[in-house]
Structure 1
């Protein structure tokens, strides 16, 4: 059973990450022609496009993609609880668990993107499409920190502050919900 649990967990988490990235990229207006953007769009289009007939976009938020995010989280939770344990959680618990899962996954993706961007900034020179995308995605989170803590002697501490804040929020959510996030 552990092997099946692992596979379900990995497959749904990977797809949830891609759907979250699509939603985030659309909200941040990331360059559509970036190779990473093209990958994310092509992977998620088979499920997002049919949902768009039911749920249109509102401003910069793609409601179909947002709904898909929660549908994937709910499907994962149902497969892991009903399929493996034989239990079906109440609807209120299912919704709360799906929100916690999406927030946790978003914070995890944000953590890794910030870390990858920081590491890539040491090695890349000139324009790199992945670096451009990472900067577009993380800039809304780093800019407010940079206004409070400007670079000191050429050292940008905003990444460190953001990583600490992400981990703090993840731990706080885990404590509030009584789960290990």
Structure 2
């Protein structure tokens, strides 16, 4: 394949991989923060991931309340997806397996950072335009980001009605991303593949 067919294939592949990894990581995070799994959005996430996740859980048990099976599933999807993306971009070549393992880990970390970045951004915007919103998705975002923001508030000086914890969270995420870039370069993460798979 070449030209438009390759671009269509990359579009479909990236869309499927990114969306499914996002859903799996959301399930992992919601379990970590003990979110409400009776929430309609949570129920959708559970139904979307159970067909693949339940068989993996029979082999990979959780450890200390951490759902390792979700992380393994997300990493496996990234590993396969990025390998296919690489093959499409570079004419059927197969990347070194160890490099691909590292690329998948970096992609997962970037996705986790993006989840928190956009979740906090949405909450901040909604606090201005719809502070009393009881939408199930909004409630879930509050449950997801609440533990992080509350920890930041505990170590910050009292600013009265002014909550600077989202700004601190944004800065922390950007600091992690700064440290992530040289690691990606160290394992020869191709810039073209980085743009396609990570959105950088």
User: Quick check: TM above 0.5?
Assistant: yes
Partner in structure 2 of residue 44 of structure 1: 49
Tell me which of 98, 108, 112 is aligned to 2:104: 98
Matched residue, 2:29 = 24
Matched, 1:130 2:120: no
Q: Which runs of 5+ in 2 are unaligned?
A: 1-5, 195-199
Question: What are the residue-to-residue correspondences of 1:1-181 with 2, within 5 Å?
Answer: 1-85=6-90, 86-122=92-128, 123-125=130-132, 127-150=134-157, 152-178=159-185, 181=200
The structure-2 alpha-carbon separation of the partners of 1:126 and 1:115, relative to structure 1 and needing over 3 Å to count, comes to closer
Aligned length: 181
Number of the residue aligned with 2:3: none
Relative distance call for 1:157 and 1:134 in structure 2 (3 A) is same
Larger relative contact order (C-alpha < 8 A, sep ≥ 6)?
Answer: 2
Distance 1:117 1:82 in 2: 39
Range 2-11 or range 143-152, more displaced: 143-152
Alignment partners' CA distance in 1, 2:132 and 2:89:
49
CA distance in 2, matches of 1:126, 1:99: 35
